[in-house]
Amino acid sequence: MSELLTSPAQALGGARFDGLVCVEEAPLQGMITLRGDFASPGFANVVSSAAATDMPGQREVRGTQDKALMWMSPDELALLCPYAEAAPMAAKLADMLAGSHALVANVSDARAHFLLKGPGLRDVIAKLAPVDMAPGAMPPGTLRRTRFAQVAAGIWMQDDATAQIFCFRSVAQYMFDLLSTAAAPESAVGHF
Amino acid sequence: MLILDCPYCGVSAEETELSAGGEAHVTREGPGSADDAFESYLFMRENPQGVHFERWRHSHGCGKWFHAARCTRTLEVFGTYSAQTTEPPQGIRDAISQKRPGWSWRDLA
């Protein structure tokens, strides 16, 4: 999908679907990919002070939508911040990490984010992703990278009735269609 | 269905979240190696009915490569372990010996 935009815009203009859960494209979200050695105090200090939170543990998210650190893999974090702050923040982080073995990339424009709201969201996600969505296995504050049908995606369980789902921006329409189909009002499962 | 525990992110990943990476612990013969060794690196693979060692990548998850020991006959998984090794760790070998006494794979037993 090629796009020529004069100002930053959401991939789907804030599309929304109301069904078993409310599926809504999130407002523009800043996201910075960070890779480095978590055990190195230099990296951990710089990153956690930029996000104003502790380093997340395995598969954890620390912070709020405005400023959060997501554990993506043993050597990768994602920093969430307001969209407008992402570019200057990435430049500042790259500067502070210069000289150490680390990577900083502003991926805000390469991702699409969706918010799922409603008590049925565990059922909706379980239809699409090969993930154990039981509350014990996916408690609030957990991040899970997986696939939704044919595309890669991440799930952040914010609380029991809210999840943020992010994927590549190029598959935003596919993801929205998937989520809307799985949330179709007549398709309740009621497992969780 | 095959379910492997990713040793890097701790997720119990189902087969479709992973990519198969072929046989484990293959020595990559480079320039200057003997013709026989190079040929066996290129073409010779195990095809056992039973204990097998494989490489897998958690491609729809943390993206890391890892190793898995499993039984090709029953899909029983004996364990998964780090990619940063050239042979299975003792713990994995012991786990296999317990369930498949007398097993062998290439020059391992």
Which residues are CB-neighbours of A158 under 8 A, at least 6 positions away?
A: A65, A140, A141, A164
Nearest chain B residue (CA) to A152: B60
Which residues are CB-neighbours of A62 under 8 A, at least 6 positions away?
A: A51, A53, A54, A55, A56, A68, A69
- Please list the rounded mean pLDDT of every run of 10 residues in chain B (109 residues): 94 95 94 95 95 97 97 96 96 96 91
Could you give the ipTM of this predicted complex? 0.89
Among A83, A78, A58, CA closest to A68: A78
Nearest to A147 among B9, B12, B60 (CB): B60
Q: What does chain A look like in DSSP terms, one character per residue?
A: -----SS---TTSS-EEESSSEEEEPPPEEEEEEES-TTSHHHHHHHHHHHTSPPP-TTBEEEETTEEEEEEETTEEEEEEEHHHHHHHHHHHHHHTTTSS-EEEE-GGGEEEEEEESTTHHHHHHHHSSS---TTTS-TTBEEEEEETTEEEEEEEEETTEEEEEEEGGGHHHHHHHHHHHT-TT------
**Reduced to 3 DSSP states, what percent helix, strand and coil does chain B have, rounded to the nearest 5?**
20, 30, 50
Which residues are CB-neighbours of B34 under 8 A, at least 6 positions away?
A: none
Task: Look at residue A1 in the predicted model and tell me its pLDDT.
Answer: 52
Number of Cα atoms under 13 Å in the Cβ half of residue A42: 13
- The reported pTM is 0.91
Task: Look at residue B32 in the predicted model and tell me its pLDDT.
Answer: 93
Task: Look at residue A192 in the predicted model and tell me its pLDDT.
Answer: 87
Which amino acid is present at A2? Answer: S
Nearest to B8 among A74, A130, A146 (CB): A74
Q: How near does any CA of chain A get to the CA of B92, in Å?
A: 22
Task: Look at residue A23 in the predicted model and tell me its pLDDT.
Answer: 97
Query: Which two three-digit tokens encode residue A106?
Result: 């502003």
Report chain A's C-alpha Rg in angstroms.
Answer: 17
First to last CA, chain B: 27
Average pLDDT over residues A80-96: 96
Report chain B's C-alpha Rg in angstroms.
Answer: 14
Mark yes or no for CB contact A147/B11 under 8 Å.
no
Q: Which residues of B80-90 are buried (b: 16+ CB within 10 A; e: fewer)?
A: bbeeeeeebee
User: Which one of B3, B4, B17, B58 would you mutate to disrupt binding with A, by most A Cβ within 10 Å of its Cβ?
Assistant: B17
- pLDDT greater than 70 at residue A2: no
Query: Which two three-digit tokens encode residue A104?
Result: 């900083």
Task: Look at residue A79 in the predicted model and tell me its pLDDT.
Answer: 97
Confidence of residue A3 (pLDDT cuts 50, 70, 90): low
A58–chain B Cβ distance below 8 A for any pair? yes
User: Which one of A103, A131, A142 would you mutate to disrupt binding with B, by most B Cβ within 10 Å of its Cβ?
Assistant: A131
Among A155, A157, A149, CA closest to A177: A149
Backbone angles phi, psi at A181, to 5 degrees: -65, -45
Confidence of residue A6 (pLDDT cuts 50, 70, 90): confident
